[in-house]
Amino acid sequence: MFIRSKAPLRLGLAGGGTDVSPYSDLYGGAILNVTVSMYAYTTIEPTDDGKVVFEAPEKNLREEYDNAMEVDTDGYFILHKGVYNRIVRQFTHRPLSLRIASHVDAPAGSGMGTSSTLVVSILGAYVEWLKLPMGEYDIARLAYEIERVDLGLAGGKQDQYAATFGGFNFMEFKDDNVIVNPLRIRQSYADELNHNLVLYYTDTSHVSADIIKEQQKNVQAKKTSSIESMHKLKEQAIQMKEALLKGDVNHIGEILDFGWMHKKQMAKSISNPRIDAIYDAAKQAGATGGKISGAGGGGFMFFYCPGLTRYDVTEALRQFGGDVKRYDFAPEGLKTWTV
């Protein structure tokens, strides 16, 4: 028997960073994101040999342990181990024997929410296997707790909810509360946005936790420029929601540009000379705005390219190496099934 799951990665269109504590606790956050056709996949194979095996086949990585109530969270498979430990501690109250393999369509540090999406995918496979009584909010919340509390990894709240719910969502954050508002966007508006957004991988990665820690430190220190920038990004999320719902798609480039100018003020490591050069080249070629995906520092960027400008923008980006990635929006979130 095999238990499988997949959860979609996301693009953060607006409000990024306002879901991170302590800003979201003090002021409330708002984010608009959309999931895309790039996924984190998990397969669980129950076994009876008393072993717990973690695998990443495409990387030829494998770790094996005697099954226990808790596995040390070191090595490559920290996320897998965090989920295993929580499942055993909270639900089964006994060790499990299994082989678990995973794959993600984007590299770690790419700004697509890969780590959190992988946690959701792994957790979803356990929910399917053990028939755990958990809804979407329960899964997203538990994924957040495993990553941020159990494992102590810095980050926000949006990725777990995006991967679980899927589609276009306007999310609100205040203290421990998260409200996911699915957006009913006319298909023609979504298709036009899909056509005009150029997704570009910079062929670099970043350590999002370091950038987020700098952002958190700035809020704790009451650094005015950082906090005001986050206020503006929260406004940007509302602007983006109105533009998408009303079909004012060609205004989205300007909204992205507005957000990028303010996002760079949140922490100095969000941008760098290479990222600035890529952004400027895209705008000179016809993009009306864009941003880096995720915390910043590297990974994916995307640009709004009206009319036929996507072709000129794609050509302008060639000088920087990297790769333009074709994608579609993914209307559904976490999926699980048993073979």
Single out the catalytic residue among 25, 48, 138, 159.
Answer: 159
Question: Measured between alpha carbons, how far is 199 from 51 in angstroms, rounded to an integer?
Answer: 41
Question: Measured between alpha carbons, how far is 7 from 40 in angstroms, rounded to an integer?
Answer: 5
- Residue 265 identity: Q
Concerning whether 159 is annotated as a catalytic residue, the answer is yes
- By DSSP bridging, strand 177-182 and strand 289-292 are unpaired
**In the prediction, which pLDDT does 319 show?**
93
User: Shortest CA distance to 80 belongs to which of 130, 112, 42, 48?
Assistant: 42
Question: pLDDT tens string for the chain (339 positions)?
Answer: 999 999 999 999 999 889 988 899 889 999 999 999 999 999 999 999 999 999 999 899 999 999 999 999 988 999 999 999 999 999 999 999 999 999 999 988 888 999 999 999 999 999 999 999 999 999 999 999 999 999 999 888 999 999 999 999 999 998 889 999 999 999 999 999 999 999 999 887 655 667 777 778 878 887 888 889 899 999 999 999 999 999 999 999 999 999 999 888 877 778 888 999 999 999 999 999 999 987 667 789 999 999 999 999 999 999 999 899 999 999 999 999 999
Burial of 325 (0-12, 13-18, 19+ CB in 10 A): middle
- Angle subtended at Cα 106 by Cα 104 and Cα 111, rounded to the nearest 5 degrees: 120
Give yes or no for a contact between 19 and 212, defined as CB atoms under 8 angstroms apart. Answer: no
10 Å Cβ neighbour count for 175? Answer: 10
What are the structure tokens assigned to 29, written together?
């956050």
Residues 6+ apart with CB under 8 A from 106: 9, 38, 112, 114, 201, 300
Question: Measured between alpha carbons, how far is 137 from 114 in angstroms, rounded to an integer?
Answer: 19
pTM for this entry: 0.94
Residue 114: helix, strand or coil by DSSP? helix
Across 240-308, where does the E strand assignment appear? 289-292, 300-304
Across 47-138, where does the E strand assignment appear? 51-56, 61-66, 98-104
Q: Which residues pair with 61 in a beta bridge?
A: 56
10 Å Cβ neighbour count for 27? Answer: 15
User: Shortest CA distance to 122 belongs to which of 9, 6, 38, 39?
Assistant: 6
Give yes or no for a contact between 34 and 10, defined as CB atoms under 8 angstroms apart. Answer: yes
User: Shortest CA distance to 266 belongs to which of 289, 236, 239, 243?
Assistant: 236
Radius of gyration of the chain (CA): 20
**In the prediction, which pLDDT does 38 show?**
97
